[in-house]
Structures are given as structure tokens and as C-alpha cells.
């Protein structure tokens, strides 16, 4: 048994003092599952786009994987209502970061500017093909804690909470090139959603019910 397997882990609700650890996990997995540290001018950019807004705007749907001796080593964040989240993102999250990330002028070509341009277009998350899947999520685990069943448990925790919030189905948008992530979602019962212009992403969805099958090994 490896040291990772031997460490006791627990999935629990996010707490405010987990913020730094969640940001660390995010940046270390933000390059299509690989380490994104040093890719952008600041390592907080990706967490500020794909973790921070959920922790502020919908903290009740944030769960962490806490490992004995290692602390927070994974998390799942998301929302039960993408349209409402987008409105809150524009009203509350964009102004919060405006001093740190000025809106790029002209066509964005540098990596930082491309990501910051996405930050200023949260409406990109609202697609007609996803209307039947109002919830969405982001999940990340440090590599040494992957392929141990922890991701499955995190997804189950999120689905249970989203279902209780009234969301009938959930979607994820993942880089099509991330074949490992696709295999993970396929095993959890996600199916591809046909989107007219998905760009570099694939959209997958599933019901938030039947969590028992997801939680099973």
C-alpha cells in the first residue's frame, strides 16, 4: 500500500481557511491536468477564474478532499444554476478583480490576456444546448491522489448537494485534448452534449440523481 493510499482522507464542505490550499491545487492542475505554475504572469490567475468565484458566490456547493498529513489535496466547486451564477459573476466577481486584471484592449493574443478576456465574458457559460443541465462543476485533484476513487466521491458529494438545490442535471466543459478526464467522466455516467460551436471544449452531462451508482467503487 502506498503512502497516499495509507493516508486517511475525508471529503468535507469547504471552509474559508481552505482558500489558499484550493488555489494551490487549482494552479498545479490547470494545464489540461498538469502543472500551470509559471505559465502565466501570476499563478493566481487560473484559480481566480476557475475556483475563486465559486468559493465566493456558491460556497455551499464546494467540497474538499482533506488528507491526513497533506491537507487539502483536491476539491469540487460549481453551481446549481449557471444562469444565476453568470449574473452574480458579472455583478460581484468582475468588479472584485478589476484592479488586478484590467480588461484587454483589442484582440487578446498573450496567454494571460486570452484568459482575462474569458473572465470578462462570463456569458460564454450560457449555451442553449445546456439549458436542461443547469448545474455545472469543476473538479481537481493533485496527481498522487488521482485514480484512487477520490474524484468519484467528490462528484457524488456535489451531485447530492446540487440535487437538493433543485438542479435536475449537471454539465462540465472540458478540454477535448484531456483524454484522461474524458475517461473519468465516461465512467461516472456522463454523456456528450452536442453543442453547435464548442471550440476546444467537449461538453458532457448527466442527471444529478442516482448518486449511489456514482459513489460506488
Where in the chain are the domains?
3-215
Count of CB atoms situated within 10 Å of the CB of 199: 10
| Residue 216: per-residue pLDDT | 62
Alpha carbon 49 to its chain's center: 10
38: left (phi over 0), alpha (psi -120 to 50) or beta: left
| Residue 69: per-residue pLDDT | 86
| Residue 217: per-residue pLDDT | 60
| Residue 212: per-residue pLDDT | 61
Tell me how far apart the alpha carbons of residues 62 and 138 are, in angstroms, rounded to a whole number.
10
For 65, 66, 67, 74, 117, the CA distances from 70, given in Å and listed in that order, are: 10, 8, 5, 11, 35
Span between the terminal Cα atoms of the chain, in Å? 17
Which CATH topology does 3-215 take?
Aminopeptidase (3.40.630)
The answer, yes or no, to whether residue 6 has pLDDT greater than 60, is no
- The DSSP output letter for 60 is G
Q: For strands 71-79 and 63-67, give the pairing.
A: antiparallel
More confident position, 156 or 32 = 156
More confident position, 129 or 32 = 129
The answer, yes or no, to whether residue 169 has pLDDT greater than 70, is yes
- pTM attached to this predicted model: 0.92
Tell me how far apart the alpha carbons of residues 211 and 199 are, in angstroms, rounded to a whole number.
30
Chain segment 193-207, per-residue pLDDT in tens = 999 989 999 999 999
Q: What is the dihedral of CA 93, 94, 97, 102, to 10 degrees?
A: 170
Average model confidence (pLDDT) for the chain? 93
Amino acid at each position: 500500500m502506498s503512502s497516499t493510499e495509507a493516508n486517511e482522507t475525508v471529503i468535507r464542505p469547504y471552509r474559508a481557511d481552505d482558500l489558499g490550499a484550493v488555489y494551490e491545487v487549482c494552479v498545479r492542475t490547470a494545464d489540461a491536468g498538469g502543472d500551470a505554475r509559471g505559465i502565466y504572469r501570476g499563478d493566481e490567475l487560473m484559480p481566480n477564474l476557475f475556483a475563486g468565484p465559486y468559493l465566493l458566490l456558491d460556497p455551499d456547493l464546494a467540497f474538499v478532499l482533506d488528507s491526513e498529513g497533506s491537507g487539502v489535496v483536491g476539491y469540487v466547486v460549481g453551481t446549481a444554476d449557471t444562469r444565476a451564477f453568470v449574473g452574480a459573476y458579472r455583478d460581484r466577481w468582475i468588479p472584485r478583480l478589476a484592479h488586478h486584471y484590467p480588461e484587454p484592449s483589442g484582440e487578446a493574443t498573450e496567454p494571460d490576456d486570452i484568459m482575462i478576456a474569458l473572465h470578462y465574458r462570463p456569458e460564454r457559460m450560457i449555451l442553449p444546448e445546456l439549458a436542461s443541465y443547469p448545474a455545472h462543476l469543476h473538479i481537481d485533484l493533485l496527481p498522487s491522489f488521482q485514480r484512487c476513487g477520490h474524484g468519484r466521491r467528490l462528484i457524488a458529494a456535489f451531485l447530492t448537494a446540487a440535487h437538493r438545490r433543485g438542479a435536475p442535471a449537471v454539465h462540465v466543459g472540458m478540454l477535448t485534448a484531456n483524454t484522461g478526464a474524458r475517461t473519468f467522466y465516461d465512467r461516472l455516467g456522463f454523456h456528450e452534449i452536442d453543442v453547435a460551436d464548442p471550440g476546444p471544449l467537449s461538453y458532457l452531462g448527466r442527471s444529478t440523481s442516482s448518486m449511489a451508482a456514482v459513489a460506488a467503487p
